[in-house]
Amino acid sequence: MDVQSAAKLSQVNPALANIIRQLAAAVSSQYGGTIQVVSGYRSYASQAALYANRANNPNPVAVPGTSKHERGLAVDLRISGVSAKTVGALGERLGLRWGGRFSKPDPGHFELLANASQDTGSSTWEGGDDADISSLATIFILGLVAVVVIKII
């Protein structure tokens, strides 16, 4: 894996980084292809800038605050020497969610599944984006309750 990709992987969830390294090794050994990490972790500000310029982006761009890149749970890859579909299938076998299956396909996008282990990279997917939205809603409501309680005290 190239130096820039390794640096980008150092900023994402360790389980995701490990799976992407496995994916790169499999793509190289099985197909003679390569993958490069084009994007990994993004700050809210970076995601907002990307979203503001989405008309010039050939791939779908998530609304700031909703991107898995902002939580270090997604990467975008440049795929060479092998089809994106082949890499997508390999990634899915390793436990990733592949953006090529999204309703608005994003074939270079891979993300760690919702209930993936932080240290082993294994996953037990139990839902889709709705599961993530539900969790975020619960955290938001708990945060509001905490603010109200603090203001009362």
Q: What pLDDT, on the 0 to 100 scale, is given for residue 1?
A: 85
Q: Where does residue 102 rank: exposed (0-12), middle (13-18), buried (19+ CB within 10 A)?
A: middle
Q: What letter represents residue 119's amino acid?
A: D
pLDDT in tens, 29-62: 999 999 999 999 999 999 999 999 999 999 999 9
Residue 86 or 1, more confident? 86
Q: Helices 84-93 and 14-31 sit at what angle, rounded to 10 degrees? A: 130
What pTM was estimated for this model as a whole?
0.74
- Domains, the chain: 3-124 (3.30.1380.10)
Query: What pLDDT, in 10s, does the model give residues 127-149?
Result: 334 334 444 444 444 444 444 44
